[in-house]
Amino acid sequence: MIALVLAFIGFLFIVEQYNSYKKVDSLNKQKSIISTILQQQNKSNSVNYIEFNSQAAIVYNITEKLLNQQSYNYLSNFILDNTQEYVNDLKQLSILIKKYIKVSREYYELTSEDKNLEKLLNEINSMHFSIISSIDSILLKNILYDSAKFDIFNKIFLLLLMLLSMITIWQRKVLNSIYNDIRLLTLSNNSKKNKQIFSQEVDAISLRMNRKMQITDNPSMIDQITEISNNKGMLQLYSERKGLKDNYFNSITILEIDNFSKSKRAFSQDFIQAILKKVAYTISLHEQSTDIIARTDYNQFTLIFARVSKEQLFKDIDLIRQNISEIKLVSPDRKKINITVTGGFIIKPHNSPLEDYIRKAKALLESAKHIGINRILQTKDIVQ
């Protein structure tokens, strides 16, 4: 908002300066035309009279234009409050010009023998001097007003610039704190200890995450590589959470990483562990409060999800597959590696044995592997 205000005031300042330039240009143009008219009056003839009418109209229109232009000087009107004085000066100039034009027309209508000719010429010269003096006075006031206006704008811009700089520094610290909070959410519970959360939103997310029933701190229930549940931990969590969402549909999915297996270890052990961590982290991003994710085999993960509909269950699982396929890794020999998973997905009825449906999901996984990689197979796919 400060940046927007600064830009808006800057725009108004540019408009002010442009109007001031046009004002000076118009006043100088008036002086030039008035002086030209005076020179032409030394030769009173019909041609000069036509030119006089044209130039007189221009001079008068310039004054009217200046009066209309003043309404667009928003900042000058608000800050300096000199509008009425400037308008009065222009009106006085307009009266002088009207009178000058009237007397000049009378002068052109006289013959060279007329006795009032010299008197009118003297009056025209006097009025010419008054008009030039009036214009010079307006120009001088305009310079003084511009100087005062610049000083005010200078202070406003400096103040806003300082404020914007302070807010930018503060905002950078805030964003950095929020970034650190988001990073903190991705850490394991042990790593989160003794660390404070800065933002309320992330604190609320953390509280929701902490409401998940956590497995015991017993290391035997945690996969040491991915820091998610192992097979034992999955069974423990399932026994604690089953029945929490009986009004939801449950599914079991077995995901297997396509890039390596027990029999085909295409990468070094460290690189395989890096892949497992990436895949586990990607899956955990989709985990809800009663979901269970576990690494249950060398390159396999078991997902027990609960959602409001069967369609949502499969949609979330397939989204996990897509997200994993977007993981980009570079192998130790500098080759780009795309990670993909293939899965077997099955809906599990309530109060049915978990082990039976895990076996069915594994059977679907085996069928999927024969059809092709990077896909999730459902029971209806085999029927088709």
What gap in Å lies between CA 292 and CA 22, rounded to an integer? 73
**According to CATH, where is 3.30.70.270 located in the chain?**
218-383
Residue environment code for 190-205, b if the CB has 16+ CB neighbours within 10 A, otherwise e? eeeeeeebbbeebeee
**According to CATH, where is 1.20.1420 located in the chain?**
2-169
CATH of region 218-383: 3.30.70.270
Both tokens assigned to 107: 């002068």
Q: For a pLDDT cut of 70, what percent of the chain falls above it?
A: 81
Backbone φ and ψ of 321, nearest 5°: -60, -45
Task: Write out residues in the chain with pLDDT < 70, as ranges.
Answer: 38-50, 70-83, 110-117, 187-195, 200, 202-217, 243-245, 383-384
User: Given 1.20.1420, 2.60.120, 1.10.10, 3.30.70, which CATH number is that of 2-169?
Assistant: 1.20.1420
Tell me if 41 sits within 8 A of 195, measured CB to CB. Answer: no
